[in-house]
Amino acid sequence: MSLLRYAAIGAAVAYGINYITKKRDTDGKSILDDLNEKAPEWMDKAKKFGDETLSKVTQQAQQTQENYQ
């Protein structure tokens, strides 16, 4: 039974890889190409969000500490 499960998982992974790397007829690019192009932009957005969240948390922690003193 486990052999059948591993065969099904392997087939699903192979299909997924094939689907992600398949080139489109319209522009000759794949989903993976799109992800690679947009990754730096997403990283910049994630860093900005992380910095904003860290500053908010730090500010709230300082206010809480001042209230207890």
pLDDT of 67 reads 79
pLDDT-based confidence at 68, cuts 50/70/90?
A: confident
pTM tops 0.85: no
Are 47 and 40 in contact by the 8 Å Cβ rule? The answer is: no
Max distance between CA atoms of the chain, in angstroms, equals: 66
pLDDT in tens, 5-62: 999 999 999 999 999 999 999 899 999 999 999 999 999 999 999 999 999 999 999 9
pLDDT of 53 reads 97
Q: What distance in Å separates the CA atoms of residue 38 and residue 66, rounded to the nearest whole number?
A: 42
pLDDT of 64 reads 87
